[in-house]
Amino acid sequence: MYEGKRVREVGQIFKCDMEKGLSSAEASGRLKQYGKNLLQEKKNKGRIALFLEQLNDPLIFILFVATAVSLLLGEAGDAAIIITVILVNALVGMIQEGKARKAIEALKQLTSPHAVVKRGGRQMEIAAQELVPGDIVCLEAGRQVPADLRLTKTMSLKIEESALTGESVPGEKDAGFLAEGRTDIGDCKNMAYMSTNVTYGRGEGVVVATGMETQIGKIAGMISETKEEMTPLQKRLADLGKVLSGVAVFICIFLFVVAVLQKRDVGDMLLTAISLAVAAVPEGLPAIVTIVLALSVSRMVKVNTIIRRLPSVETLGAVDVVCSDKTGTLTQNKMTVKKCFADGRLFSAEELEENRQRELLRGCTLCNDAILEEGSRIGDPTELALLELAGKYGMKRERVEGSYPRIDEKAFDSDRKMMTTLHKGGQGKIAYTKGSCEEVLKRSSHILINGRKQPMTESIKREVLQAAAQMAAEALRVLAIANKEDAIVPEERELTLLGLVGMIDPARPEAKEAVAAFRQAGVDTVMITGDHVDTAFAIAQELGIATRKEECLCGSDLDRMEEGEFDQVAERVRVYARVSPEHKVKIVNALKKKGKTVAMTGDGVNDAPSLKAADIGIAMGMNGTDVAKNASDMILTDDNFATIRKAIEEGRGIYENIRKSILFLLSSNFGEIITMLAAILAGLPSPLKASHILWINLITDSLPALALGVDENDGGELMKQKPRRNNESLFAHGGLSCTLCFGMVIAVISATAFLQVPYQALVSRGLPINLHNLEVMLGIPELLNKAQTHAFTVLGMSQLFHAVGMRDVNKSIFRMKLFSNGYMILACVIGISLQVLVTEIPYFVSLFGTTRLSLSEWGCLAALSAVPLVVHELLLLGGTAEQDSQEKENGRTKFSAEREVS
């Protein structure tokens, strides 16, 4: 807005004197009118509201019903367990809340605490929060910009804006610049923005925006307004909760109708119906999912990843687009000299010869204001790159300046595009100049080739310009270095060109491999940066992200597109350049509309809104701002883009484990339901008591389910698969058939164990075996208790065997590494021990209404419980036979085709 207005116009708009500033009275009045220069905070939810929010979940509602049922049945212990499950889930959820609040607090910490202003014709330092529109602010190197300013004076002013724009090189500022039309933040040379840092020169500017009206304020608003979305797993669990709620209600109604039709006692059937409804719900599921995710967080730390939001762990497995910031993520955020031109040839920086290019290295060292010491990097990134180049060849600035002390200088400015320093040498004074290739070349009358000065001919000049153009084509920033011997003042004429250096913020070496690995795993990489399109494309091409310039899109082009038009091209674009924070959010949202699960990486303030808008925001831990970290879901502790690949591999494994746990629990519950429904429809008593179901669902099942949740997966195989769709059902890829199949198996063997007792009683009495006689036998309390104990024991133990097979439904247990999952072995040992506990220890026998079993009964029931493993192996044998048959058929077809061709 103000970048297109002249200084005089801005002064008229804000009614301020550019030389004297505002009066104290006027400033005080405007402070009341505009408010303090602070970022507003969104009203925080209270702890009670946060706690209640965690309980708004269908599965939690069912757990409340289960608690009520347990109390109704007098099972206070089970009720206490369920309530504990609910509390654990709610407390974990509360810990994850408040990220937007933290992000805004971090933004507040970024703002400058003090500012130098002109008030009533005097310069004074005031608290930055007291700044008002119309104040005249004085800037100098080392200060942070305290508000958004329209610059009125600039003296070699450079401002580092990477946290806001993504550009790694400080931008030159020019108060005389006038923007035409809409201009990107990074191109507004006459503006300075709140929270950016002055790296060089001095300047003055008039405050045009404070607080939430500043660019950083708008980002704060975007963070607080972005709604938290459910992860794919949370959505699937919510859907599952609704389905299970419906099943529970249907069962209650169905059994009530059955009671009326069979003329049973309605009260007894109601209790049975409630027991069945409890059987339909895996009460331990929410706690198991939470614990598995929490355990996986410690595993993620091993791959240099800190998870801030627990459900985000599994979201990683569904990621099919990684939108990455360029600076500091794909690149090293450190300008590095890659190529040099000297002695008439262009070569890589590694090929530089100290003896032949000593004078070039000396120029890089002396015409330089940066400080490069161990553990300290201060100054312009381009100057630091020059010092690093010279330092590789043992040329340290302190030592060189000891021999060539600086006695005068001519600072860089945007008109000359050069900087010159004058030094006292052993053979008189010597000046060194660095700057734009075109400008230095204009002022050069000679060139140094192989240590000898030669006249600058037109052919040599063409060679120099051709070398510069070649480096520029590779997106290198080109600087020329020259000197002038016997100089009296730091003059810039009749120079001797020493050479050219081309530098860039280089790609991280490991990023290229990560991009290739993503491609194999079906994950697209998209670069989003505030940098220039040529620089962005050069890095993207090097990394294999983009191959054609047509795959790049600028922020200005994005602004001209209609929303629907952009949605159409969003999937094809691989590089976005010169983009603003708003653009980044727009890009993320467009990809999400296409059904993509989007991960966004970043380290700057400008990345925070898009980090929060993405399905999973990934911040850099070492060089990332606090704002980016607090807006993210996970943090890379090593700032390594390649770590994301490891994290996605872990995420896929974690989702697969959670899915196995859920299918295991549901198949077990399905077995319970079928067992009870079949018995009741046949007119027989219930094979299981409600306390038996709750014990199995909360205790016996939970341990192997947790063991499945921490199982090891073949990461290499997982990363060869395409990402799952974000709307993919938990029952996809054979999950439903697995659940139904093993549920039926468990139901059959549980029913067999239940009917075995009355069957043996009828056989021993010589009575005919029919449904009526079975019902009569089960009417005897002792026999019913024994039958229920058998069903309870088989149901509990069969699920332990079933859990072993669920580790990999596509692999025989004889090919599994059975001892690689120590938790599963422990779960089986504890599970069997607990089952023995409730049937053999008098107190628990009385509590659960079971009967003690003989050794032969244990052997028989154990054999029956192992049937799910037998079925597991038979299914695999059937699948292998079918596959072999198909391969033989394909072989015959291929042989026939080859013979026909012959």
Return the active site residues: 325
Q: Of 382, 389, 384, 383, nearest to 350 (Cα)?
A: 389
Q: What CA–CA distances, in Å, run from 78 to 71, 195, 692, 831, 834?
A: 8, 56, 10, 17, 15
Q: Determine the Cα–Cα distance for residues 751 and 684; give it in Å rounded to an integer.
A: 11
Q: Determine the Cα–Cα distance for residues 326 and 634; give it in Å rounded to an integer.
A: 18
619-622-626 Cα angle (round to 5): 55
Q: Which residues lie closer than 8 Å to 534 by C-beta, 6 or more apart?
A: 475
Query: Which two three-digit tokens encode residue 490?
Result: 């730091």
Query: Which two three-digit tokens encode residue 111?
Result: 């703002």
Q: Determine the Cα–Cα distance for residues 169 and 42; give it in Å rounded to an integer.
A: 34
Beta strands in 280-335 (DSSP E): 305-307, 321-325
Which 3 state secondary structure label does DSSP give 324?
strand
* C-beta neighbour count of 299 within 10 angstroms: 15
- Main-chain dihedrals φ then ψ at residue 872, nearest 5 degrees: -55, -45
Q: Which residue has the tokens 């549920």?
A: 743
Q: Are 677 and 323 in contact (CB under 8 A)?
A: no
Q: Which residues lie closer than 8 Å to 854 by C-beta, 6 or more apart?
A: none
Q: Are 238 and 57 in contact (CB under 8 A)?
A: yes
Q: Determine the Cα–Cα distance for residues 778 and 213; give it in Å rounded to an integer.
A: 78
What single letter denotes the amino acid at residue 292?
Answer: V
Q: Determine the Cα–Cα distance for residues 166 and 869; give it in Å rounded to an integer.
A: 57
Query: Which two three-digit tokens encode residue 660?
Result: 């196995």
Q: Determine the Cα–Cα distance for residues 251 and 249; give it in Å rounded to an integer.
A: 5
Q: Determine the Cα–Cα distance for residues 785 and 683; give it in Å rounded to an integer.
A: 17
- DSSP class of residue 182? S
* C-beta neighbour count of 136 within 10 angstroms: 25
Q: What CA–CA distances, in Å, run from 833 to 700, 826, 829?
A: 10, 10, 6
Distance, first Cα to last Cα, the chain: 77
- Main-chain dihedrals φ then ψ at residue 341, nearest 5 degrees: -125, 120
Q: Are 138 and 128 in contact (CB under 8 A)?
A: no
- DSSP class of residue 816? S
Query: Which two three-digit tokens encode residue 466?
Result: 């051709």
Q: Of 525, 619, 632, 624, nearest to 576 (Cα)?
A: 525
691-695-696 Cα angle (round to 5): 120
* C-beta neighbour count of 450 within 10 angstroms: 9
113, containing H or E segment: none
Q: Are 304 and 636 in contact (CB under 8 A)?
A: yes
* C-beta neighbour count of 642 within 10 angstroms: 20
Which pairing describes strands 321-325 and 524-528: parallel, antiparallel, or unpaired? parallel
433-436-441 Cα angle (round to 5): 70
Q: Are 662 and 285 in contact (CB under 8 A)?
A: yes
Q: Determine the Cα–Cα distance for residues 189 and 203; give it in Å rounded to an integer.
A: 12
